[in-house]
Protein backbone atom coordinates (compact mmCIF):
# COMPACT_ATOMS: atom_id res chain seq x y z
CA UNK A 1 0.00 0.00 0.00
CA UNK A 2 2.86 2.37 0.77
CA UNK A 3 4.17 1.85 -2.75
CA UNK A 4 0.73 2.55 -4.11
CA UNK A 5 0.47 5.80 -2.24
CA UNK A 6 3.93 6.89 -3.35
CA UNK A 7 3.19 6.12 -6.96
CA UNK A 8 -0.32 7.46 -7.29
CA UNK A 9 0.69 10.72 -8.87
CA UNK A 10 3.34 9.36 -11.20
CA UNK A 11 2.57 7.97 -14.64
CA UNK A 12 6.27 7.14 -14.92
CA UNK A 13 6.03 4.83 -11.93
CA UNK A 14 5.73 2.01 -14.49
CA UNK A 15 9.45 2.44 -15.05
CA UNK A 16 10.22 1.59 -11.42
CA UNK A 17 8.29 -1.64 -11.18
CA UNK A 18 10.41 -4.75 -11.57
CA UNK A 19 8.54 -6.94 -14.04
CA UNK A 20 11.44 -9.21 -14.94
CA UNK A 21 9.70 -12.19 -13.31
CA UNK A 22 6.14 -11.21 -14.17
CA UNK A 23 4.03 -13.08 -16.71
CA UNK A 24 1.64 -11.36 -19.04
CA UNK A 25 -1.25 -12.61 -21.11
CA UNK A 26 -2.08 -10.64 -24.23
CA UNK A 27 -5.53 -11.21 -25.72
CA UNK A 28 -5.91 -9.73 -29.17
CA UNK A 29 -9.09 -9.53 -31.24
CA UNK A 30 -8.83 -10.53 -34.92
CA UNK A 31 -11.45 -8.08 -36.15
CA UNK A 32 -9.67 -5.08 -37.71
CA UNK A 33 -6.56 -7.24 -37.66
CA UNK A 34 -4.07 -4.73 -39.07
CA UNK A 35 -4.98 -2.33 -36.31
CA UNK A 36 -4.98 -4.87 -33.52
CA UNK A 37 -1.61 -6.23 -34.68
CA UNK A 38 -0.20 -2.73 -34.29
CA UNK A 39 -1.69 -2.43 -30.80
CA UNK A 40 -0.36 -5.86 -29.91
CA UNK A 41 3.15 -5.08 -31.12
CA UNK A 42 3.08 -1.81 -29.20
CA UNK A 43 2.08 -3.61 -26.02
CA UNK A 44 4.62 -6.38 -26.50
CA UNK A 45 7.52 -4.01 -27.17
CA UNK A 46 6.55 -1.89 -24.17
CA UNK A 47 6.58 -4.89 -21.86
CA UNK A 48 10.02 -5.89 -23.09
CA UNK A 49 11.28 -2.32 -22.83
CA UNK A 50 10.28 -2.30 -19.16
CA UNK A 51 12.03 -5.58 -18.43
CA UNK A 52 9.61 -8.41 -19.18
CA UNK A 53 11.13 -11.54 -20.68
CA UNK A 54 9.84 -12.55 -24.12
CA UNK A 55 9.09 -16.06 -22.88
CA UNK A 56 6.86 -14.56 -20.18
CA UNK A 57 4.52 -12.80 -22.59
CA UNK A 58 1.78 -15.06 -23.94
CA UNK A 59 -0.05 -13.75 -27.00
CA UNK A 60 -3.45 -15.21 -27.82
CA UNK A 61 -6.03 -14.23 -30.38
CA UNK A 62 -9.82 -14.29 -30.17
CA UNK A 63 -12.25 -13.81 -33.09
CA UNK A 64 -13.60 -10.40 -32.10
CA UNK A 65 -13.63 -7.97 -29.23
CA UNK A 66 -16.71 -9.58 -27.74
CA UNK A 67 -14.58 -12.66 -27.02
CA UNK A 68 -11.93 -10.67 -25.14
CA UNK A 69 -13.70 -11.32 -21.85
CA UNK A 70 -13.59 -15.09 -22.06
CA UNK A 71 -10.04 -14.97 -23.38
CA UNK A 72 -9.08 -12.82 -20.40
CA UNK A 73 -10.76 -15.19 -17.96
CA UNK A 74 -9.05 -18.26 -19.42
CA UNK A 75 -5.68 -16.58 -18.89
CA UNK A 76 -6.39 -14.84 -15.59
CA UNK A 77 -7.45 -18.08 -13.93
CA UNK A 78 -3.88 -19.40 -14.25
CA UNK A 79 -1.90 -18.70 -11.10
CA UNK A 80 1.27 -18.00 -13.06
CA UNK A 81 -0.30 -15.17 -15.07
CA UNK A 82 0.16 -11.84 -13.27
CA UNK A 83 -1.68 -9.50 -15.63
CA UNK A 84 -3.83 -9.68 -18.73
CA UNK A 85 -3.91 -7.07 -21.47
CA UNK A 86 -6.89 -7.10 -23.81
CA UNK A 87 -6.70 -5.38 -27.18
CA UNK A 88 -9.37 -4.78 -29.78
CA UNK A 89 -10.77 -2.20 -32.16
CA UNK A 90 -14.48 -1.51 -32.47
CA UNK A 91 -15.52 0.93 -35.16
CA UNK A 92 -19.01 2.37 -35.24
CA UNK A 93 -21.18 1.10 -38.08
CA UNK A 94 -24.79 1.48 -39.14
CA UNK A 95 -26.13 -0.42 -36.17
CA UNK A 96 -25.64 -0.32 -32.41
CA UNK A 97 -23.35 -3.34 -32.38
CA UNK A 98 -20.47 -1.20 -31.17
CA UNK A 99 -22.43 -0.15 -28.09
CA UNK A 100 -23.31 -3.70 -27.17
CA UNK A 101 -19.78 -4.99 -27.68
CA UNK A 102 -18.06 -2.14 -25.84
CA UNK A 103 -20.35 -2.25 -22.83
CA UNK A 104 -20.13 -6.02 -22.60
CA UNK A 105 -16.34 -5.96 -22.77
CA UNK A 106 -15.98 -3.14 -20.26
CA UNK A 107 -18.27 -4.93 -17.82
CA UNK A 108 -16.77 -8.34 -18.52
CA UNK A 109 -13.15 -7.31 -18.07
CA UNK A 110 -13.98 -5.46 -14.87
CA UNK A 111 -15.59 -8.61 -13.52
CA UNK A 112 -12.64 -10.82 -14.46
CA UNK A 113 -10.14 -8.45 -12.87
CA UNK A 114 -12.10 -8.32 -9.63
CA UNK A 115 -12.73 -12.07 -9.58
CA UNK A 116 -9.04 -12.97 -9.94
CA UNK A 117 -7.65 -9.88 -8.20
CA UNK A 118 -5.30 -9.16 -11.09
CA UNK A 119 -4.87 -6.30 -13.54
CA UNK A 120 -7.06 -7.02 -16.56
CA UNK A 121 -6.50 -4.10 -18.87
CA UNK A 122 -9.15 -2.61 -21.17
CA UNK A 123 -7.23 -1.86 -24.35
CA UNK A 124 -10.25 -1.43 -26.55
CA UNK A 125 -10.10 1.31 -29.16
CA UNK A 126 -13.63 2.51 -29.83
CA UNK A 127 -14.02 5.04 -32.62
CA UNK A 128 -16.45 6.47 -35.13
CA UNK A 129 -14.14 6.01 -38.13
CA UNK A 130 -11.24 3.92 -39.38
CA UNK A 131 -9.08 7.04 -39.51
CA UNK A 132 -9.71 7.73 -35.82
CA UNK A 133 -8.73 4.14 -35.08
CA UNK A 134 -5.39 4.52 -36.90
CA UNK A 135 -4.81 7.76 -35.01
CA UNK A 136 -4.87 5.60 -31.87
CA UNK A 137 -2.88 2.71 -33.28
CA UNK A 138 0.43 4.43 -33.87
CA UNK A 139 -0.88 7.74 -35.24
CA UNK A 140 -1.30 11.20 -33.82
CA UNK A 141 -2.94 9.96 -30.62
CA UNK A 142 -0.24 7.40 -29.90
CA UNK A 143 -0.61 3.66 -29.61
CA UNK A 144 -3.22 2.46 -27.14
CA UNK A 145 -1.45 -0.88 -26.96
CA UNK A 146 1.54 0.88 -25.44
CA UNK A 147 -0.72 2.64 -22.95
CA UNK A 148 -2.42 -0.63 -22.06
CA UNK A 149 0.94 -2.25 -21.31
CA UNK A 150 1.99 0.72 -19.16
CA UNK A 151 -1.29 0.45 -17.27
CA UNK A 152 -0.65 -3.23 -16.57
CA UNK A 153 2.88 -2.54 -15.32
CA UNK A 154 1.65 0.33 -13.20
CA UNK A 155 -1.01 -1.82 -11.59
CA UNK A 156 1.52 -4.55 -10.82
CA UNK A 157 3.40 -1.98 -8.79
CA UNK A 158 0.30 -0.99 -6.84
C1 LIG B 1 -19.69 -8.65 -35.34
C2 LIG B 1 -18.66 -7.61 -35.10
C3 LIG B 1 -18.81 -6.32 -35.65
C4 LIG B 1 -20.00 -5.95 -36.48
N5 LIG B 1 -17.89 -5.38 -35.47
C6 LIG B 1 -16.79 -5.66 -34.75
C7 LIG B 1 -15.79 -4.67 -34.53
O8 LIG B 1 -15.85 -3.53 -35.01
N9 LIG B 1 -14.72 -5.01 -33.76
C10 LIG B 1 -14.58 -6.26 -33.20
O11 LIG B 1 -13.57 -6.49 -32.52
N12 LIG B 1 -15.51 -7.20 -33.41
C13 LIG B 1 -16.59 -6.95 -34.16
N14 LIG B 1 -17.55 -7.91 -34.37
C15 LIG B 1 -17.28 -9.28 -33.88
C16 LIG B 1 -17.73 -9.50 -32.41
O17 LIG B 1 -16.79 -8.89 -31.52
C18 LIG B 1 -17.79 -11.02 -32.11
O19 LIG B 1 -16.58 -11.62 -32.47
C20 LIG B 1 -18.92 -11.72 -32.83
O21 LIG B 1 -20.14 -11.08 -32.60
C22 LIG B 1 -19.02 -13.20 -32.40
O23 LIG B 1 -19.36 -13.28 -31.02
- What is the domain-level CATH number for residue 116? 3.40.50.960
Whether pTM > 0.80 for this model: the answer is yes
Separation between Cα atoms, residue 134 and residue 125, nearest integer Å: 10
pLDDT of the residue at 17: 87
Ligand 1 center to 1 CA (angstroms):
39
- What number does the ligand 1 atom closest to the CA of 30 have? 11
Assess whether pLDDT exceeds 50 at residue 10.
no
Model confidence over 36-76: pLDDT tens digits? Answer: 999 999 999 999 999 999 999 999 999 999 999 999 999 99
* 68 domain residue, yes or no: yes
| Beta strand spans in the chain (E) | 24-29, 57-62, 83-91, 120-127, 137-139, 142-143
Share of the chain above pLDDT 70, in %: 90
* 3 domain residue, yes or no: no
Separation between Cα atoms, residue 141 and residue 137, nearest integer Å: 8
Per the structure, the complete domain to which residue 104 belongs is given by: 18-156
The mean per-residue pLDDT over the stretch 8-21 comes to 66
Q: Is any ligand 1 atom within 6 A of the Cβ of residue 97?
A: yes
* 9 domain residue, yes or no: no
* pLDDT-based confidence at residue 15 (cuts at 50, 70, 90): low
Residues 6+ apart with CB under 8 A from 75: 25, 27, 58, 60, 81, 84
Q: Is any ligand 1 atom within 6 A of the Cβ of residue 108?
A: no
* 33 domain residue, yes or no: yes
* 10 domain residue, yes or no: no
* 4 domain residue, yes or no: no
* 78 domain residue, yes or no: yes
Model confidence over 67-84: pLDDT tens digits? Answer: 999 999 999 999 999 999
Helices (H) and strands (E) in the chain, counts: 6, 6
pLDDT of the residue at 106: 98
φ/ψ bin of 121: left (φ > 0), alpha (ψ from -120 to 50), beta (otherwise): beta
Residue identifier of the C-alpha nearest atom 12 of ligand 1: 64
For residue 120, which of 21, 13, 27, 17 has the smallest C-alpha distance?
27
ipTM: 0.99
Model confidence over 122-154: pLDDT tens digits? Answer: 999 999 999 999 999 999 999 999 999 999 999
Among the residue ranges 15-24, 110-119, 135-144, the one predicted with the least confidence is 15-24
* 54 domain residue, yes or no: yes
- Which residues are known to be catalytic? 97
On whether the CB atoms of residues 51 and 18 are closer than 8 A, the answer is yes
Assess whether pLDDT exceeds 80 at residue 13.
no
The tally of domains found in the chain comes to 1
- What number does the ligand 1 atom closest to the CA of 62 have? 19
Amino acid sequence: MATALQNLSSYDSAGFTDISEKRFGLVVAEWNRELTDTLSNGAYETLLKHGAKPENVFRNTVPGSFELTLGAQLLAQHEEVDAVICLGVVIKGDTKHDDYICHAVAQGLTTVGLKYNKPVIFGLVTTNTLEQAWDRAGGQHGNKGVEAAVAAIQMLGF
